[in-house]
Chain A
Amino acid sequence: MFNLFGTPKPLHGVLALYDNPDTLLNAAAQVREHGFTKADAYTPYPVHGLSEALGIRKSWIPYVTLVMGLSGAILGLGFEIWTSAVDWPINVGGKPFVSLPAFIPITFECGVLLGGTMTLAALLVACGLPNFRDPILDRSLTDDRFAIFIADSGRGWNENRAVQILQASGAVDVRVIRA
C-alpha cells in the first residue's frame, strides 16, 4: 500500500513546465481534448478548475469522514452504555445507569476523534504517502513552476505527438523523462 524506499517504478513520459497557472489550465484542457485522459499536473498550490480540466474525479475522502465520524460516535456511546449499565452498573448520585444527556459530550468527541484521524489516514492512503520511492520530477514544482506530465500509456503511445501538443500549449520547457 505505501511506497517507501524501494526501487521506483520505471517512469517514462513527457513533462511540460509552465510559469503561469492560467496557461496550465488551458494546456490541461487541450491535453484532455487530445485524448490523454491519464495526464497529471503538478502545482505548488491547488489551482482551482484544474481537476475539471484534466477530468479527475471528485475525492471520496468525505465519505470516509462521514462513516468514521458516525462510527466513532456510535462506538463512544456504546462503550459508555456498556461500561456504565452492563459491565458494572454503579449507582452514582441516583442517576440512571444510561444517563444519556451526560454521555453526549464524549459521544461527540469520539466521533470527531475517529472521523478526523481517519480523514488524515484516508488522505495518506489516497495519495500513496509516504512515498520516498518515486523521483521528484523537478524541484521548481513546489516553488514557482507548474507542470503537466503525460505518462507513457503503453500501446499506441506516440511520444512525438505528446511533445508537439505540449510545446504548442505555451510550455516554457518540455522534457522527455526516462527514469
Chain B
Amino acid sequence: MNPTAVGDERRASASHAEPALPLAEPTLIDPSKSLGDVSAEISAPINTKPGPLWFTFFGISVLLFLGMAATVTYQINKGLGILGINHPVGWGVYITNFVFWIGIGHAGTLISAILHLFRQRWRTAINRSAEAMTIFAVMTAGLFPLIHTGRPWFAYWLVPYPNWRHLWVNFRSPLVWDVFAVSTYLTISLCFWYTGLIPDFATLRDRASGWKRGIYSLLSLGWRGSERHWQHYERAYMMLAGLSTPLVLSVHSVVSFDFATALLPGWHTTIFPPYFVAGAIFSGFAMVVTLLVILRKVFHLEEYVTLHHLENMNKIILATGSMVGYAYATEFFVAMYSGNQYESFTFMNRATGPFAWAYWTMITCNVIIPQLFWFRKLRRSLPVMFVISIFVNVGMWFERFNIIVTSLHRDFLPVNWSYYRPTVFDWMVTAGSFGFFFMWFLLFCRFFPTISIAEVKSVLWNAKKATGRVPASGHAEPKHV
C-alpha cells in the first residue's frame, strides 16, 4: 500500500521515527488535526455564505434544467415526433441517458457499501458525496423512461395496483423488473445515505444556533451519540451495506436485461450483465473524480480528500476500464466465432459502418485514454485525472449510444435500415439532465456535510495512534470505594 498524500511530505520523517507496522493503514488524514478541527472544517461550507462561483454554477444548472422542462412540455404538447427517434431507431438519446445516469450512480453504492464491507477505510472521505451522487443520478435517470413513454401521465400503469380492469402488469417483462430495481435502488440508497447522515446532522445541530439549529435538530431526529444507540447504529449500517451490495449488482444487470432479453443482434448476449456492471462502476468513478476534484478545491477539503483517495479511485478506473475493454473484445470475438451472420454483421457495422465515429470515440475514451493511469505521476496529477475522467464520462455515454443505436439502425430487414439523427430537442433534454443533476449536487454541497464527519474522526484517531500523536491521557489508578 502506498502512503498517502498528506503522508507524502511526512513519510520521510515519519518512517525514520518509528518502525513501520506491517499492517498499518496508510495515513488518510493529517494526524496533527484535532477532532474539533474535523467538525469545524467539514461544516465550514454550511456556515458560510456561498460565493459568486457557486451562484454561477447553480444558475447555469437551473437554466439548463428549465430548458429541459420547457422542451419536455413542448414534447408532451406536440408528441415524440419532435425527437430524432423514428422507425427503426425507436430508442435513442433518452434511453442512452437513462442507462448512462443509472450507471453513474453505481460508484456511489460501490464506495459506500462494498468498500465498507471490505473495510477499506479510505472510503470515509468520499462516501458521502459519492452516495449523494448516486441518489441524484438515479433521480435524473428516472426522468427518462417517464418522458420517453410519450404519455408520462400514464406512468403509474407501470406499478401493479388494484384497478377496476383487474389487469396486472406482466411480471415476465424486463421493463417491469426495471421499475422495481430502480425504485428499490433509489429507496435503499436514500435509507443508507440518511442513516449515515444522522450523526453528522447532530454535529451540525450542536454547532448551529437559531433556525439552523432547529432544522438540523429535526434532521438529526434528536441523535445524541449514546453508546447504546451506536451499537444498534453500526449493526444497522452494516446490514444496509450488506443489502446494498447485491442490490447495486442487480440494478445494472436488470437494466442490461432490457437489451439482453431482446432478440436483436448486438443486444442478445449473455455478457451484458457483468459488462454493464463493470461499465457502470467505471463511469461512476469517473464522475466521482470529476466532482471531487472541484469540490475539494472549492470547499478547501484537500486535507480530507487527498491525492491518495483520488489515486485509489483512478486505479479503480484503470481496472474497470480494462474490464470494459476486455468486454468489447469478447463481444467481437463471440460475434465472429458464433458464425452467426447477423451477429458478425452488427459488430463489423459498429466498427466500420455509419456510426463508426461513435464506436471509435467510445474505444478511445474508454479503453485507450485511461491506460495513462498506469503511470503513477499521471494518476496523481489533478489536471490529468480531471481531463481523463471527463473523457471517460463521454466515452461511457457513447458506449450506451452505440449499443442502442447501432443495433437498431441495421436490423434484420435491409428495407428498414436508416440513420439516426438526434434533434436539438434531444440535446436540450440531455443538457437539462446534467443541469438537474448538478442543481441537486450543488444544493447538497451547501446544506449537507459533504464528508462523513463521524467516520473521519474515527480514522483520524487511528492515524494519531499510528503516528504516536495521542495526547497523554489523564488516567489515574481507580480508587475502590
Listed in ascending order, the chain A residues whose CB lies under 8 Å from chain B are 3, 19-23, 26, 30, 33-34, 40-47, 50-51, 54, 56, 58-59, 61-62, 65, 69, 79-80, 83-84, 87-88, 90, 92-93, 95, 99, 102-103, 105-106, 108-110, 112-113, 115-117, 119-120, 122-124, 126-127, 129-134, 136-137, 139-144, 161, 164-165, 168-172
Contacts and interface: CB of A to CB of B under 8 A. Distances in A.
B479 A43 contact: no
B32 to A, nearest CB: 14
A51 B35 contact: no
Nearest to B181: A109
B232 interface: yes
5 contacts: A47-B227, A103-B172, A112-B246, A119-B239, A165-B478
Contact of A130 (B191, B222, B230, B480): B222
B8 interface: no
A69 to B, nearest CB: 7
A108 B257 CA distance: 15
B228 A129 contact: no
B77 interface: no
B222 A132 contact: yes
Nearest to A145: B35
A26 B176 CA distance: 56
Contacts of A126: 229, 232, 236
Contact of A30 (B171, B458, B478): B478
Contacts of A168: 476-479
B368 interface: no
Given A59-B231, A61-B232, A169-B478, A143 B181 contact: no
A83 B176 CA distance: 14
Contact of B481 (A87, A124, A143, A164): A164
B231 A56 contact: yes
B180 interface: yes
A105 B243 contact: no
Contacts of A108: 246, 250
Contacts of A116: 184, 187-188, 191-192, 240, 243-244, 247
Interface residues of B, number: 77
Most buried by A among B232, B455, B471: B232
B225 interface: yes
A126 B233 CA distance: 9
B338 interface: no
Contact of A46 (B453, B454, B478): B454
B34 interface: yes
Nearest to B43: A143
Nearest to A135: B224
A67 to B, nearest CB: 12
B191 A45 contact: no
Given A56-B231, A126-B232, A112 B479 contact: no
Interface string B234-274: 11101110111011001000100100000000000000000
Contacts of B174: 105
A102 B254 CA distance: 11
A51 B227 contact: yes
Contacts of A109: 177, 180-181, 184, 247, 250
Given A84-B171, A164-B481, A59 B235 contact: yes
Given A41-B227, A43-B230, A83-B168, A62 B235 contact: yes
B435 interface: no
B171 A106 contact: yes
A30 B39 CA distance: 30
Given A106-B177, A123-B195, A139 B240 contact: no
A112 B247 contact: yes
Interface stretch (B88-96, B198-206, B277-285): B198-206
A164 B480 CA distance: 9
Nearest to B214: A132
A32 B203 CA distance: 28
B470 A22 contact: yes
B231 A51 contact: yes
B194 A164 contact: no
Contacts of A23: 473-475
B236 A120 contact: yes
B212 to A, nearest CB: 14
A176 B425 CA distance: 68
B258 to A, nearest CB: 11
B166 interface: yes
Contacts of B242: 65
